[in-house]
Amino acid sequence: MSDIINFIVNTVGELGYIGIFFMMFLESSFFPFPSEVVMIPAGYLAYKGDMNIYISIFMGILGSLAGALFNYILALKFGRAFVLRFGKYFFFNENAMQSMEIFFKKHGEISTFVGRLIPAVRQYISLPAGLAKMNIAKFSFYTSFGAGIWVIILTIIGYYVGAIFSGGMNISDVIATFTAKELTKEELQIKSYVTQAVIFTLLSAVLVVGVYIAYKIKLSKKID
């Protein structure tokens, strides 16, 4: 998988902002492409003045939304059986689909937002939304909101890495943090930042779901 990731990064990396869009499209669709190897280097390059941080974030969110819409339309148009038949080639199976459907049914539309903050869920939460024929405007809003938070966090980490190491790291070393088996001290430090970010977003997701459930309970009591 690391060889495939390196090939894609090297191939599209020269495209700049379009490359960010394309790679985040992949990350948000079926292909298990890590967003860390896209937005963290983008943030790092923004620190060095080689990219504009706002355009990078915008293209990252746009790519995420496009990939999510691809999954949404795929599920909406072709149905569950087709998604499972196609998904097995991208490490997506019946158990994963059932987990996504349960998650979506349990938490409703808010799951589209929350799902974007959870690793291994963010790529596939669009599928049950498509199968359920969720309103596309609401789907796009919640998806962009959730994806935006994650994209911004990763980009800030990349910018922060640039500040910590004074822009002295090679961009290939930043990418190697998420593709190489043996990591340097600096790469381990970057990885620890991402781990902390994942924990933060997971706790945020739990908090959002908790507030949403409490709101729904309070609302149902008022109706009763």
Angle at 104 between CA 101 and CA 105, to 5 degrees: 85
Q: For residue range 205-215, what is the model confidence (pLDDT) as tens digits?
A: 778 777 877 77
Give the whole-angstrom CA distance, residue 15 versus residue 17: 6
More confident residue, 172 or 47: 47
Q: What is the DSSP string of 27-95?
A: HHSSS---THHHHHHHHHHHHTTSS-HHHHHHHHHHHHHHHHHHHHHHHHHHHHHHHHHHHGGGT--HH
Q: For residue range 128-149, what is the model confidence (pLDDT) as tens digits?
A: 888 888 899 999 999 999 899 9
Return the closest-CA partner of residue 75 out of 147, 125, 28, 121. 125
Mean pLDDT (whole number) for 37-42: 87
More confident residue, 161 or 6: 161
Angle at 149 between CA 118 and CA 1, to 5 degrees: 50
Mean pLDDT (whole number) for 196-211: 82
Given pLDDT bands bounded at 50, 70 and 90, which one contains residue 156?
Answer: very high
Mean pLDDT (whole number) for 89-96: 67
Residue holding tokens 């998650």? 103
